[in-house]
Each structure stands twice: as C-alpha cells, then as structure tokens.
Amino acid sequence: MTEEEIKSEEETTSSMWTMDDLVALTDDVQVGEIAFRGKTVKYQFCELVEAEEPKFRPLSDRASEEEKMAYYTDIGAKRILAMLEKANEKSPDGPQITEEHWSLLPTTLRYQISNDIMGIEQESRENFQL
C-alpha cells in the first residue's frame, strides 16, 4: 500500500462508528447548548434504547391531517422529554430540564432544543432564514 492509501484507510476507519461506540451513546450523558434570545441555554440528554421509547396507541387510519400532526408532535415531545429525564437521572448535577420546566418553556425554545438533539438544527436554520 502506498502512503496515500494508508492515510485514506485510516481516515475512513476513524470516521466510522464501532458498535461499542454506538451502544455507549445510550449510556453517555451528552451536553448541548443553544443560543436563545441573546443568552445560552444548556441542557443534557441521553439517547434511548427501544424499551425506553414512549409508548403510544396506534393512530386511526381515518385520522385527519390535524389529528396526525398533533399525534406526531406529541410523540416527538415525549421522546425528547424521555431523553432529557434519562440524562437527569444519570447526571443529577448537570444542566437539567425537568418535565415541569419542559411544559412551561417557550415553544420556540422547545423546538430549538428538540431540533438540536435530533440533529436537525442546521436544516431548520437554513429553511427558516429571514
């Protein structure tokens, strides 16, 4: 192998997830921060395993678009809350957002935190630039 091929292989290997690293994400507390109205908001979260995902009843095939939107919004909010609460349990001294806080936060802040956790913050910023 040439030096260039070795370097390329090393870069590829270092940019790939191992199964152990992926599994560890469900146990590691991650800390995020976002800017909100000129100040910084810090929070912590953990990835969930399937057993930790919030459970929901099936949605009727006859549901209206409005009902579907409300249903999926509720699922998303409960999922993010479960991720926040899991981190709070693992790291009680970290930057906590509790269930009580979450329900009282401005909706725009909740969306920003949710988008950041789900990794779609950049996409939102690009789509809603003024």
pLDDT confidence of residue 5: 60
Predicted structure pTM score: 0.77
Which pLDDT value is given to residue 127? 61
What's the CA gap between 34 and 36, in Å, rounded?
Answer: 6
Q: Give the separation between CA 87 and CA 97, rounded to whole angstroms.
A: 9
For 26, the enclosing helix (H) or strand (E) is none
Residue with the larger pLDDT of the pair 115 and 9: 115
Selection from 108, 123, 112, 113 nearest residue 87 by Cα: 113
More confident residue, 123 or 39: 39
Number of independent structural domains in the chain: 1
Amino acid at 106: P
pLDDT exceeding 70 applies to what percent of the chain?
Answer: 83
Q: Tokens in use for 4? A: 């260039």
For the stretch 41-59, pLDDT in tens is: 999 999 999 999 988 888 8
Residue predicted with more confidence, 124 or 11: 11
Task: Give the whole-angstrom CA distance, residue 121 versus residue 108.
Answer: 12
Question: What contacts 36, CB < 8 A, 6 or more positions away?
Answer: 108, 109, 112
What confidence score (pLDDT) does residue 120 get? 76
pLDDT tens track for 82-124: 999 999 999 999 999 999 999 999 999 999 999 999 987 555 5
Residues paired with residue 41 on neighbouring β-strands, in sequence order: 34
Which residue range(s) make up the domain with 99? 3-127
Give the separation between CA 12 and CA 3, rounded to whole angstroms. Answer: 14
- The residue-averaged pLDDT of 26-42 equals 95
Q: Where does the pLDDT of residue 61 fall: very low under 50, low under 70, confident under 90, or very high at 90 and above?
A: confident
